[in-house]
Structure 1
Amino acid sequence: MRKLLLSSVLLISFIILIISSQSSCKKETITNQVTVKDTVFVCNPRIAGLWEGTYTVGTGFPGPPGTSFYFSFHIYPGGKFSYKSKGYYNGSYDYVTFADGTWTLNGTSFAFSDITINAAGGTNFSQTGTATYNSVNSSLTNGVITNNGNTETFSLTRVN
């Protein structure tokens, strides 16, 4: 009888072990969250390149005040630039003037100074200017050029 009791206890223990091991196993779906980290590089403004637009003469310049002419800047890396503009001279609105100078950019504030190379009438002169730089739409707006006490306005858009 003792053998039977011992066998029964062993059999019951074995059955409990099997049942408990089977009931503790279940299929689980584990969902892992993945965090994606983006790196955004903020580059220096792309101000170097060719800019085209117009300038409008004020009083004190040859030609009627308020007349607009072609104007272009070629802005080079390192602070140098040159410009080309059409203007009024000797009865013609197609006189082309060139200038070389330097530029700076501080935030959105663009500034330059230059000396004309072949100004109308053969007199070269120094001039300074400022404009607001917009890197989103690649524009120089609200531009003002001052020379010999005269003022012109300009706006340019980057074309390459």
Structure 2
Amino acid sequence: DAQRARAEGRSPVIEPGMQPAALTALLGLLLAGGAALGTYALLVPLIALQGLTAAGWFRLNGMWPARQGIALGFLGALAADVALLASDRAPGAILGTLGVWVLLSLVLQLRSHADPDERMYGLMATVAAAALAILAGGHLAADADAVTVGAGATAVAMVVRALPLPT
């Protein structure tokens, strides 16, 4: 439990294990394949990555479910994708979207009736989830070969990292 871990001074991050590593590897392979096929083929696994990133950040931090924060992060990612496609992959589209979504995250947390510590945890998790999901849109702005190599390497690294090591 994340709240108990925080109270004991431990990290609230939950160790994911092999199943999420396999899911990440599959998504990495889909991203690599999509990038090799073209921008619109990349868009499908990218949107899945952005949704999983927005939701997964809250899950890893033990703040599940956080529907408003997840929705805000995912909508920010979709807005960044649209802005990137509309601006012919201009990187400024990501920066503009990040700025707007940090402000929206702040407004969301200011409306919260939680105690101040929980509000601060919520603000940090919401901003981080939105930023990571939005920055994942950079796959659209990057060269297709770079996305293919990077996503493939990530797929391999996730599986290797999740393998149990002898002690």
TM-score category (smaller protein): under 0.3
Q: TM-score under structure 1 normalisation? A: 0.24
Which structure: greater helix fraction? 2
Q: TM-score under structure 2 normalisation? A: 0.24
